[in-house]
Chains A and B, each alone.
Chain A
Amino acid sequence: MRWVLLLMALLLPALAQEGPPPDLPPEVFRIARELRCPVCQGESAAESNSGVAAEMRRIIAEMLREGKTEEEIKAFFVERYGEWILYAPPRRGVTLWVWVLPLLGLLLLGLGLFAYFRPRPLPKELLEEAERRLKEPPR
């Protein structure tokens, strides 16, 4: 009996955790998460409670039911709102830089680190000193 209670205490909060509302399939929210809510500041169409975001989710659900692909659904919104509606900037034109620059930065950083930590031959005086100490008889 005590075990059952313990299990329930552990499991119930997990069940209560927020998931997508049951009226729309999770696929809708997965696509909506990649689209901006047009009337919000920094919220996706999946998170926002605004009327426009709710309508966008309904449109996504309808289009999925019609058998449209994710690409087609995104294109539908880009057609109306422009590429601004996409959270991920397109990998071409000016916004290609957004994707390339971090890699370029990492590459430069790697090169810099390599140049900094590259094994260098020890200075001559140091080598001579080490040689001399080696030859010294142990005290």
Chain B
Amino acid sequence: MRGGLWLLLILALGGLFWWGMQRDPRELPSVLAQERRPAPDFALPLLPPYRAAWGETFRLADHLGKKPVVINFWASWCYPACYEEAPVLEAFWRRHRDQVLFVGVNFQDKELEALRFIAQFGLTFPQVYDPRGRVGVDYGVRGVPETFFIDREGRVLARHAGAVDEATLARYLEEALR
């Protein structure tokens, strides 16, 4: 009887340990996407190459409620993930720019280095500059790169942490357009 109790205790603790080890510590849910909250608004200055087409400041609220929006947080110091996804994002944007709006949020970076990154990948979707990273806090960003998908009603549909690939972009765009 006593031995059985000990065995049960050891099994229970072992099970708890095993369950804990199966969990991915990097997989942290986004509060915004979980509750499908309205995307937090922001108004940030655009980086110089985009001012001619988009104006001095970019206000998210002006663009919500029309097309789905994809917000990508990146930084030039984020190597290699941001360097891997930049060409993917650009190619996807060029192909689907009539269906979706892409916005790049340059996060806690230096302007010169951000501009060099933009030139390196020839990014044509609007890029805003957030050296303090305040908007990142509003979105609950835990690290760059992170990509948020916002549906046509302006609600956060999903968050993707880490470099994004084309299949993921296509899947969420389809979901946002539904």
Interface on A for B, CB 8 Å cutoff?
Answer: 38-39, 51-52, 55-56, 58-59, 79-82, 84
B49 at interface by CB-CB < 8 Å: no
Given B28, B31, B137, B138, which contacts A52 in the complex, CB threshold below 8 Å?
B137
Q: Residue-by-residue, is B126-151 near A (CB-CB < 8 Å gives 1, otherwise 0)? A: 00000011101111111100000000
Known pairs A39-B143, A82-B31; A51 contacts B108 (CB<8 A):
yes
Q: Which residues of B contact A84 (CB under 8 A)?
A: 28
Check if B134 sits within 8 Å of A81, measured CB to CB.
no
Residues of A within 8 A of B136 (CB): 52, 55
Give the CA-CA distance A38 to B25 in the complex, in Å: 12
Q: Are B31 and A80 in contact (CB under 8 A)?
A: yes
Chain A residue at minimum C-beta to C-beta distance from B131: A51
Q: Given the complex, which residues of A lie within 8 Å of B138, measured CB to CB? A: 80
Q: How far is the CA of A81 from the CA of B143 in the complex (A)?
A: 12
* B29 on the A face (CB < 8 A): yes
User: Which residues of the partner chain B approach A55 to less than 8 Å between Cβ atoms?
Assistant: 108, 132-134, 136-137
The residues of A that contact B133 with a CB separation of less than 8 Å are 51-52, 55
List the A side residues contacting B28 at CB < 8 Å: 82, 84
Q: Among the interface residues A51, A59, A79, A84, which one has the most CB atoms of the partner chain B within 10 A?
A: A51
CB-CB under 8 A from B29, the residues of chain A are 82
Min Cβ gap B12→A in Å is: 13
> Closest Cβ of chain A: how far from B75's Cβ, in Å?
9
Selected contact of B142 from candidates A39, A51, A56, A79, CB within 8 Å: A39
Contact B140 A80 (CB under 8 A): yes
| Measured CA separation A52–B109 after assembly (Å) | 12
List residues 135-170 of chain B with CB under 8 A from any CB of chain A.
136-143
Q: In the docked arrangement, what's the CA distance between A81 and B28, Å?
A: 9
